[in-house]
Amino acid sequence: MATPKYVGIETEYGIAVDGPTEVNPVLASSLVVGAYRDAGERDVVWDHSDEHPLRDARGYEVPDPHEPVVDDELGLANTVLTNGSRFYVDHAHPEYSSPECSNARDLVIWDKAGERILEDAAARAATTLPPGSRVLVHKNNTDGKGAAYGTHENYLVPRSVPFGRLTRQLLPFFVSRTVFVGAGRLGSELSDEVPFQLSQRADFFEVEVGLETTLKRPLMNTRDEPHADPERYRRLHVINGDANLCEVATFLKVGTMLLLLDLIEDDALPEVPALAEPVTAFHQVSHDLTCARPLRLEDGSTATALEIQGQYLEACRRYVKDRDADLDPVTAQVLERWEAVLALAADDPRSLAGQVDWATKLELMESYRGRHGLGWESDRLKMVDLQYHDVRREKGLFHRLVSRGRIERLVGEDEVIAAMHAPPTDTRAWFRGECIRRFRRQIVAAGWDSLIFDVGGEALQRVPMMEPGRGTRDALGPLLDEVDDAQQLLERLTG
C-alpha cells in the first residue's frame, strides 16, 4: 500500500519596473518581498541549516567551493508567511514556495494564493518608488530574450523507491505531459521555424539526468534534499514543468504525478515505452501543435505524446480499480479530467482552450492576429504573449478571460483569498503557519522541517517537524488553543 504523498510548488516570477527610475530586478524583487508584511511586524526568516542543494540522489555530494552565504549578507528579502509558504528573492526573481499540500486540489488553491500575494506585494512595492512607477510581475518562465526561470514541483516519496526506477518510469511521462502542462510561448530558442510552441521551458533542457537547475538543465533532476526524515524519504524535485495559470492544468500536472508515484512505489506500473532520445522528444512535443508527431522509441517503433499518456492513464485506471475502496474524490476527479483532456486533444488539441494554458493563449493570439493582420514576429504579439501572464487581475489577459467566463475554474475565489493567510489544515504547514501567526515575536527562523524559538532562555530551541503528515490542525489545534505563548507551547511539547 502506497504511503501518503505530499506536494508543493515553487515559482519564480518574472519582474520589471516601469517608471522614471531604473530599478534592477534584484532590488525590485527585494522591494516586492519586503513590502508584503504588516507594518512593524518582525520577519520570520528562513532557516538554511538543513538545506543540501548539492547532495545528489545518485549517491554523492558535489563539493561547493564557496562559503555558505546567508540572505542577510546578500541583502535579499526572505520570509515565511502565515499560510505556511516561503516568500523570498531567488537570484533576480521573487519566488513563492507553496506550503505542503496533501492533494492536487489544495495545491491549486495555495498556488493561486501565491498569485494573489504577488499581485498585492507588487502594488505595495510600487508605493515605495517614485510617482509614476509600476512594478510588473508575470507568472511565466522566460523573458523572451534567451533567459529562463523555473517552476519546480516537489513530491515526497519513500527512500525505498530506487531513484533509477523513478527515472526510467517518469522520463516518458515528463516528455508527453507537455500537452496539458505547457504554458505556451512565441518563438523558439532552437529554431526560427517555430512561431509558437506548447512549452515555455522545453527549449532550455539539454540533458536527461543531472543536478543542475540553471545550466544544462536535466529532464530528471537528482537533488536529494528531502526536507523531512532523510532515512525515510526523498524529495522528487521536478524542474521541467511550466508555470500554469489555468487551474485545470495545475490540477492535472500535480494530480497525475501524485497518482503515478503511488503506482511506482507499489511497483504496479507496467513497462513504459522508452524514448530513444528523451531530450529531443521533449523539444519535438513542444514544437508540435497537433500533438500527433511520432516520437522514436528505443525498440525502433514510434508513439505520439498522446499515445504515451494514454498508456499511463490506462495503468492508473487499472491500479485504482483494484483499490476502489481507497479511491478518494480528488483522485477520482484527476482520472476523469485526465481522460477528458486526452480525448479532447486527440480530436483537436486547440479545443483545450479554457483548460490548458498553451491552447488558451494560442486562441487569444490567433484572434488578435486576425483582427490586426499581424505576423508571428510582430512586437505587438509579443506583448500579448507577456500580458497573458500579468498577475494583476484588472490587466492580465488571462484574468480578463476569467472575468468573461472563458476559463474554467476548479476552486472558489473565497478559498484562494483565505489561503493567502491560512495554511492547509492537514499537513505540518498548519503548525508552521499557526505558530507564526500566534507567536511571531518568539520565532527566530523557520524551515520546512523545523521552527526555531527564542523564549528568552540561554539557547534557542528548535522544534523538529520531520514528518509532513504531522502538525495538523486536528492533532495540534487543541494544544495551541490551550497555551498563551510559545514558552508554554514548548513546555507542553517537551514535557
Burial profile 337-375: b = 16 or more Cβ within 10 angstroms, e = fewer: bbbebbebbbeebbebbbbbbbbbbbbbbeebbeeeeee
Question: Which residues face 234 on adjacent strands?
Answer: 157
> Which of the residues 38, 47, 72, 90 is marked catalytic?
90
Active-site residue flag, 106: no
Q: Distance between CA 235 and CA 153 in Å, rounded?
A: 10
What interhelical angle do 305-321 and 163-176 show, nearest 10? 120
Q: Residue 65 — φ and ψ, nearest 5°?
A: -75, -5
Q: How far is the C-alpha of 289 from the C-alpha of 1, rounded, in Å? A: 39
CA distance 289 to 292: 8
Q: Residue 6: how many CA atoms within 13 Å on its side-chain side?
A: 23
Contact predicate 233/156, CB 8 Å: yes
| Sequence spans of domains, the chain | 1-139+413-495, 160-200+229-234+243-388
Q: Are 228 and 235 in contact (CB under 8 A)?
A: yes
Per-residue pLDDT of the chain (495 residues), as tens digits, is 899 999 999 999 999 999 998 999 999 999 999 998 754 466 788 887 765 555 666 555 555 444 444 444 444 688 999 999 999 999 899 999 999 999 999 999 999 999 999 999 999 999 999 999 999 999 999 998 899 999 999 999 999 999 999 999 999 999 999 999 999 999 999 999 999 999 999 999 999 999 887 778 999 999 889 999 999 999 999 999 999 999 999 999 999 999 999 999 999 999 999 999 999 999 999 999 999 999 999 999 999 999 999 999 999 999 999 887 678 999 999 999 999 999 999 999 999 999 999 999 999 999 999 999 999 999 999 999 999 999 999 999 999 999 999 999 999 999 999 999 999 999 999 999 999 999 999 999 999 999 999 999 889 999 999 999 999 999 999 999 999 999 999 999 987
